Structure 1
Amino acid sequence: MTPGALTALGWSAAALIGLAFSGLGYTVVRAFGSGAGAYTDSMSEEASRRFEDLFLFIPAKRISDIGRAAAAAVFLLCFVPLFDHTNPVSTVAGTVLGLTFGVLALMAPSKLLDILRDRRRRKFNEQLVEALGSMSNALRAGFSINQAFESVVQNGEKPISQEFGVMLQQMRVGMNFYDALQSLDKRVGSDDLTLVVTSIDIARRTGGNLTEIFDKISLTIRERMRIERRVQTLTAQGRLQGIIVACMPALLGTAMTFIKPDLMIPFFKSVNGMAAIGLTALLIAIGWFFISRIIRIDV
C-alpha cells in the first residue's frame, strides 16, 4: 500500500473516530438535557403546588422559566470573567463554578418557598393563640365547634382565616370533620396546630371540655413563644458574628477586585488562587456549620 493511501486511511479512521465520539457526545448531552428538563418540570410543578398552599397561584411553567433564566445568568456571571483560552485551569474552574452556582440558582424557587412557608407558619402560630381564645369564648357562649371556626374566619386575619376557611369549605363539600382537621394540619405543618388537632380529636372521642383545653393550649403556646423570643435575643450576637465571618471574605475580595483588578484577576485565574478560594470557602462553611449548631436551641 502506498504512503498516500496509508495517510488517507489514517485520516479516514480519525474522522470516523471523531464522528463516533461526536455522536456519543450528542446523545449524552441530549439525554442529560431531557432528564434535566423533566426534573426541572417536575420540581416546578411541585413548587407550584406548594405555592398554592401559601395562596400564591404561580404557574409551574413560570417557575421553571424563572429558575432556568436565573441559572443561565449565574452561570455566565461566573464563567465569563474566568474564561481564558490560554489558561485551561481558569476555564475549567469557571465552568465548575458556574455549573455549581447555576444548579443552586435553579433550586432558588424551592428555597424561596421554604422561607415563605416558614414565615407563614410563624405568623400562623402567633395568630393561633388569639384564635384559641376567641374559639374558647365562642364555645362558652353556646356555639358549636364549627361555628367557633367560622368566627375565626370572619374576624381573624390572614393566614389563619384563609386556612380555617379552606377547612370549612372542605367540610361543606363532603369531607368529615376529622379528615378536614388532618388536611389543615398537614397543609400548615405547625407543631402547635398538631397539638390543637390532637386535643380536639381526643375531646370529641372522650367528651372533654374544649374550652379548658383551648385555654391551656393557648397558655402553653404563649409561654413557649416567650421563651423562644428570649433565646433569639440571647443568640442574636452569635448569629450576627456568623453572618459577618461568612460575608467578610467575599466582600473584601469583591472590593479588592474593583480597586485592584490587575492584581486580583490574575490571582483568580491561577491555580494557587483557585486553591486558596476553595480552601477559604471550605473553612467558612465549617465555621458557619459549628456556629449554627452552637446558637440553635430547640424549645
Structure 2
Amino acid sequence: MNSTTMNTVTAPAEWRDFLALCKPRVLTLVVFTGLCGMLAAPTSIHPVLGFTAMLCTTLGAAAAGALNQWYEADIDAKMKRTESRPLPAGRMDRQSALHFGVGLGTFSVLLMGLAVNLLAAAILTASILFYVMIYTVWLKRRTPQNIVIGGAAGAFPPLIGWAAATGHVDLLPVLLFTIVFLWTPPHFWALSLFVRTDYANAGVPMMPVVAGAQATRMQVLLYTLPMAATAIAPWPLGLTGSIYGVSAAVLSGVFLLLAARVGFSRETDQAKMKPERQLFAYSIIYLFVLFGALVADRMVLA
C-alpha cells in the first residue's frame, strides 16, 4: 500500500468519519434486502431477535466497508469520487480504520451467533470475509471480473435474513441471492462507464478500462438477461404470488430496455453518457422496489 498518496492526519477523527467509513449508502440497500429476506420467510421471528439480526447484518456490512477503505486508501486517493473519504483526505489514520473494522465485524458475528442462530452467523461471516478477502484483496486490483465474482459479497443479506428467521436456507432465498449477484455487474459497470477515467488513474482493471466501453456495454446487456429471468422465476415456480410476479416482470422489462439503450450506445464522452447514468440510478430503485414487492406479496398471501 502506497501511503504517500494520502494526506497526513492532522486531527482526531470525528464520528462522521467513522460513519463514512461504513459506506452508509451501501448499508441502506444491504439492510433493506436483508430485512426483506427475513420478512419473506415462512416463519416469523421475535421482534427483538429480528432487530438483533438486522443490527448484526448492519454492523457486519459496516465492518466490511471499513476494511475495504482501510485496504484501498491508496486507490481512493487517486479517484475524484473517493478522494474525500476519511483516509485519503487525512481525517483518520489507517490503524484506527483497521481496528474499527475488525472490532465491528467480530462483534456482529459473535452477537448473531449467540442471540440468533449459528447459520445466520456463519453466512454473515462468509459475507464479510468474501467482501474483504476475495473481492477487495484478491480480485479488485487483478481482474476485470472483480465485480462479477465479487458481486456475491453484496448478495448474502437476503440469505442472512431468511436464515435468521428460519434457521435454514431454501430455494427462494437462493434465488434472491442470485438476483443480487447478477444485478451487480450491470449496476457497477454502468457506473464504471462514466467514471472510467477514475479507475484508469487508480490502476483498477475495471471492464471499461481493460476491454473498452463497447465491450462493457454489451456485457451490461448480456448480464441483464439472466438477471431478469431469475427475478421473474419465483412466480412461475410457485414461490410467490402475482403481486411479486407482475412487479418483477414490469421492473425487469424496464431494466432490460435501459440496458439495451446502454448496449447500443456509441457515446464516448463520459459527461454525456445519459443512458449509463439512467441505468445506474434505475438499478438502485429496481432492487428496492423488487424486494419491497416480495414483502408485500408475502403479506397478502399470509
In which range does the TM-score fall when normalised by the shorter chain? Answer: 0.3 to 0.5
TM-score by length of 2: 0.33
Higher helix share: 1
Higher relative contact order, structure no. (Cα contacts within 8 Å, ≥ 6 residues apart): 2
TM-score by length of 1: 0.33
The structure number with the bigger radius of gyration is: 1
